[in-house]
Structure 1
């Protein structure tokens, strides 16, 4: 009679009594409990999760064979995978769509979704309008949606996902020329509060030759501005330095501090932080550019046609927020708002207030699009070879001046 050699694999299969006696390497009449002791023990589980350990222990005690134990492990893996998937989806939903805060009297208000690429001191009037309930006053509830990156903010609005957004008008002009249905409806910043910052070892702009400068895009409006400032202030051409896309002011500050770029430009509070950190301030953009429509609120044209009244009331609330911010009597509340919104300390808030509110004053008090400033935006596009000679379109193709005009009339 031929007898198969015993192996761990054959141990798991039922045997006849003859097969057991014939196998020389197999102990006679072994109990399953004894044979299981020869199987290497599995690695100890993490004992930090007591509920999981209890769950595992109960199932293990119920396992009466090696096969059932293997089946249990498979089921346990599937359960953990399901739990992990559900947990990930739960937190991802919060990251994608921040929870909307509830205010007393929110019922009956018209919700306005508003896309921004980040949060800096530049949007102080918007935060003031929220905190002081100016939006509520005009029957609106503002739902701010932070979408990192200017191009992504533009896409959110021109796709119809979000009706309103806040961005450099150059991006809206670029999108509109490619067929997007969007227009700038108010001028949020008509002066550029950007400082050109460099590593501490760089003392002059001329030393940027051959260096890497951090930007938010290779073809955006701020990059056109940087090119002009570098040429006027430091006599550097575009071939004299390299550009690295790193993001908006917070990311550019981090890139400079982390050493991945030699220089970059940034606005409050990051320019002030950079100076405090020992970085070199080379110049200010406004000194060489003058008035320029740096930031504006824009809207999808379909939204403007169907909800013009909401757009007017939205701009009106921001105008009130701006005027409140400029009022010296509100300084303490404004500082508290800065510290809350930007997670800053008292010193940083006071520095931003002095620079932005008391000295630089970039926000218009009537929400208007500055004609000289938007004309400068078009001039930079011409210098960037965006148009053929003699074929520069009027800026009025991309803006709706009537929204801000109507908004301010309701406040006078």
Structure 2
């Protein structure tokens, strides 16, 4: 049994296929022991991946684009994972976008991928970056707690945190899909040197992940998939059911590990518009599909 050390930023429904693969022994069947580590910070995650602390990380696509283009990083995208679906959840007194002027908004990191999407959503609703303050808080769980405690006025939350907040009376002003519907959000990334030395582990892990996504999308597994999320996140059944129905409706997870190339081009477009990168971007240096292609057979 080969071990792969993976890194996620926080526990959330976006890790559903990982939970499934572990609980249903799908990774084990593929000869892989998956170690899951929570970093609570996108920057910490990427820094540690470049140092070799972790083998593979689940991150926002633009994080890898930025590292490759701006820092000549050895990291590359090896698999498409998910469409981003983050709702802007605000305190009960914030009912429309203009109410956010002069307010504090929680983000993972000020230059993180989903802060970028939040900035784009706000700009599309005539709220400029000079009119609010980003507060760096880390992963979705920490931002949820800060919002509930009144430490911030709003934040992007994914399932199940956004659903829980709405049930508590917080407002939903819309999602990133309202302004950018076609976008490659979450991806899996590795260092090229590690991948070359560990091709079998890479291919077998991706194969297990793809099988876990297939299992999730099988309608016969709905009830058990919901139970998997409840067990891993400690959710009420109502919240887990709402999360499942949303993920199915919007086809959140990339099937077969395929990268949404037009969505990745949109990532580059948004990053350029907001000044995150300069000049032309050669996407062939950003992603390598050979491992996911082999995993699909």
CA contact (8 A) 1:339 1:345 kept: yes
Which residue matches 1:123? 15
Q: Which runs of 4+ in 1 moved over 6 A?
A: none
Alpha-carbon offset, residue 180 of structure 1: 2.4
1:406 aligns with 2:294: yes
Q: Superposed, which structure 2 residues align to 1:175-254 within 5 Å? A: 175-176=67-68, 177-189=70-82, 191-232=83-124, 234-254=125-145
Which residue matches 2:249? 359
Alpha-carbon offset, residue 198 of structure 1: 0.8
Alpha-carbon offset, residue 175 of structure 1: 2.4
Which residue matches 2:275? 385
Alpha-carbon offset, residue 174 of structure 1: 2.3
Measured in 2, the distance between the counterparts of 1:323 and 1:174 equals 31
Which residue matches 2:62? 170
Q: Superposed, which structure 2 residues align to 1:298-377 within 5 Å? A: 298-356=189-247, 358-377=248-267
Which residue matches 2:35? 143
For this pair of structures, how many residues does the alignment match? 296
Please, which of 181, 187, 199 is the counterpart of residue 290 of structure 1? 181
Measured in 2, the distance between the counterparts of 1:271 and 1:380 equals 24
Measured in 2, the distance between the counterparts of 1:253 and 1:396 equals 36
Measured in 1, the distance between the counterparts of 2:61 and 2:84 equals 13
Under a length normalisation based on structure 2, what TM-score does the superposition of the two structures give? 0.96
SS of alignment partner, residue 366 of structure 1: helix
CA contact (8 A) 1:378 1:395 kept: no
Quick one: higher RCO (CA 8 Å, sep 6+), 1 or 2?
A: 2
Measured in 2, the distance between the counterparts of 1:270 and 1:319 equals 25
Alpha-carbon offset, residue 367 of structure 1: 0.3
User: Which blocks of at least 5 consecutive residues in structure 2 are unaligned?
Assistant: none
Which residue matches 2:153? 262
Which residue matches 2:164? 273
CA contact (8 A) 1:166 1:297 kept: yes
CA contact (8 A) 1:134 1:320 kept: yes
Alpha-carbon offset, residue 179 of structure 1: 3.2
SS of alignment partner, residue 261 of structure 1: coil
Q: Superposed, which structure 2 residues align to 1:94-113 within 5 Å? A: 109-113=1-5
Measured in 1, the distance between the counterparts of 2:66 and 2:204 equals 27
CA contact (8 A) 1:192 1:291 kept: no
Q: 1:220-255 CA deviation, whole Å, 9 max, x = no partner? A: 2211111111111x2111111111111221111111
Alpha-carbon offset, residue 401 of structure 1: 1.7
Measured in 2, the distance between the counterparts of 1:265 and 1:175 equals 23
CA contact (8 A) 2:66 2:276 kept: no
Measured in 2, the distance between the counterparts of 1:206 and 1:361 equals 31
SS of alignment partner, residue 353 of structure 1: helix
Under a length normalisation based on structure 1, what TM-score does the superposition of the two structures give? 0.70
- Structure with greater Cα Rg: 1
Which residue matches 2:49? 157
Alpha-carbon offset, residue 319 of structure 1: 0.6
CA contact (8 A) 1:115 1:156 kept: no
CA contact (8 A) 1:221 1:377 kept: no
Q: Which has the higher strand share?
A: 2
Which residue matches 1:50? none
